[in-house]
Amino acid sequence: MIHYSLEDIDSSYACDEELGVSLYSDRTVFRVWAPLAEAVEVNLYESGDEGCPLFVKPMTKVGRGVWQLELDGNADGIFYTYTYSYNGERTEGVDPYARAAGINGKRGCVLELSRLNPHGWEESDFVSLSRPTDAVIAETHVRDFSKHPSSGIDSADRGLFRAFTVTGSLTPGGLPSCLGHIRRMGYTHVHLLPIADYGRLDETCPEASYNWGYDPENYNLPEGSYSSDPYDPRTRILELKELVMSLHKSGIGVIMDVVYNHTFKLDGSALSKAFPGYYYRYKDGKPSNGSGCGNEIASERAMVRKYIVDSLCFWAREYKIDGFRFDLMAVLDIDTMNEVSRRLREINPGVLLYGEGWTGGAIALDGKSSASKANAGRLDGIAFFNDGYRDALKGETFVDAAVGYVSGNHILRDRIVDGLLGREKWADSPSRLVNYCEAHDNLTLWDKLAVSAVSYHERGRKKMARLAMALVLLAQGIPLLQLGQEFLRSKPLEDGGFEHNSYASPDSVNSLKWDMLDENSEDAQYIAGLIGYRKRHRLLRLGSSEEVQTHSYVADPSAEGTIMLRLFDDSEELLVLVNPISRAKFFMLPDGEWEVNITDCCVSESPLAVCCEGMFVPPISVMVLKRYRWKRSG
């Protein structure tokens, strides 16, 4: 590693230059930031993975650390790398700003991206909501989504971007699967686990291994293993755009899971080769490991911040991505995240931004500067995963036997009330909360109940699962479900246990088993009903803490942990009755006639029953009642 003063680098060399490759009709311009390099060369190749360079061209330093080469002619389709000289040593690497690449991302590719738009792309636009709390997000992995034979997707498209463009796929039992299922459920957004180019998976034989994708290789181009032809850099770009356009046509937004907190490699990364040491944090001369993956990105440095912002703006503009989820967001600094929010909202005012408010270990950044939950009030328009509500609902995540509110720990009642009202000490608004009880990490909800609620039969655990999901969808904030959760997704192992961390587990563990939808269709239908009910009732989607305080009331607690929550405005009042105990519970109702809309098995806008004075709520379930605060005519 070369030695230098970071302060001097930023003051002397930070710049706003457009970096990467710029294509014109008569010329091609390469630009890379490597301020202390002794020399930089461009290597031009015919192939993305084989052969010697066709040409090697020296670059010229043009000011503030930028090296540039201008070639005559449009070099569309040529592959390229850079060779950097530091201390007399030469190192070849991929352009950090590469927007296309060949197999396994070894060489960047010069492409005119405007020529890689599917038919109708110009009419495809961002999916905008009035407020973040209008969103209902489904999280999924591209490969998991369609890999299983029961998905109904042709074998040639399974596990690929193309599966998201298929309409009419069916489960073995004849129910809509994949895209049809997402539409039927009523999700507003699909959150895709990392789709930018990542390491660990060999794109020449992706079937040989599996990975979630949290190991960034090239930040600005799509992962090749999800492409029908990973050797062709055009194909992966076109097919990802087709995925986005397909979801947009269905009114569904696309959220991209991004991993700017670390890279797959440190010394071998494109960033390190361009400028050794600058892009990472060090402590006592060693790489800091706040990501838990061997390194952490120094987002607070001027050109690192520029790189992250440029990358996100590129994805928003070029691929029309509707939102971004930030992995281990607390590794990044507040100023960078606020600049991200500001710049992305210039492109799309309705962009959804949220992330994990924690790190994977100790970081070499002042805690006051970290984009963590503790500093949530200093971040603009960015939401956080509400892991406290998650653990209160189903039990502590990292203790298998721990039970939550839905599985018997009723002393957590006040914690659930706070969740229903969108009250967190670190959040100033429900719009800052992403509520969930299952995600790709850790045990699925169904598996967690299997190992913690061991004294209950399957029917009782199904009631618990329904109740947990209902309490996510009825809570103030932004609800997120892992796709398949609604039909009791499980990740069983051959030894009878369940997979806690399936980041590299085979498809047999990770793939969505669409035949489970046939077995548990009533559960999925119930969750779809709850999603629809949430969409129809603004009282369940309030945008500010002030609104919640003005329009809600919680009855005094009972000794058994039950909850009576009243939500009201000028037109209607909703009464949410929660009974977590194993026997029916009688609730005294406020005066008036109440229409029953939600029971433990049905959701209906038309009254399932009309009651007054009192109501028995079945064991381990929620009921929602409604009355109008104005008299209807007729």
CA-to-CA separations, 421 to 66, 188, 296, 602, in angstroms, rounded: 51, 22, 35, 23
The SS3 of residue 86 is strand
Decide: 293 and 286 in contact? Cβ < 8 Å: no
Decide: 111 and 233 in contact? Cβ < 8 Å: yes
Among the listed residues 610, 603, 612, 622, the one whose alpha carbon sits nearest the alpha carbon of residue 562 = 622
Out of 41, 95, 257, 356, which one is annotated catalytic? 356
Strand ranges in 146-244 using DSSP code E only, listed in sequence order: 189-192, 196-198, 216-222
Locate 120 and state its tokens.
């109708």
Element (H, E) at 627: strand 621-628
* CA–CA dist 81, 98 (Å, integer): 9
Helix 458-473 × helix 413-420 angle, to 10°: 40
* CA–CA dist 32, 307 (Å, integer): 11
Out of 95, 215, 217, 327, which one is annotated catalytic? 327
Among the listed residues 234, 408, 260, 239, the one whose alpha carbon sits nearest the alpha carbon of residue 324 = 260
Residue with tokens 């911040």: 305
Q: Is 239 annotated in the active site?
A: no
The SS3 of residue 406 is helix
* Type of residue at 311: S
Phi and psi of 126, rounded to 5°? -60, 150
Phi and psi of 436, rounded to 5°? -160, 160
Among the listed residues 392, 322, 436, the one whose alpha carbon sits nearest the alpha carbon of residue 578 = 392
Locate 112 and state its tokens.
């005119």
* CA–CA dist 261, 294 (Å, integer): 11
Q: Spell out a b/e string for 338-349, using b for 16 or more CB atoms within 10 Å of the CB, else e.
A: bbbbeebeeebe
Q: Is 546 annotated in the active site?
A: no
Helix 387-394 × helix 458-473 angle, to 10°: 150
DSSP class of residue 75 equals -
Decide: 125 and 246 in contact? Cβ < 8 Å: no
Locate 109 and state its tokens.
């590719």
* CA–CA dist 535, 45 (Å, integer): 53
Which active-site residues does the annotation give?
Answer: 327, 356
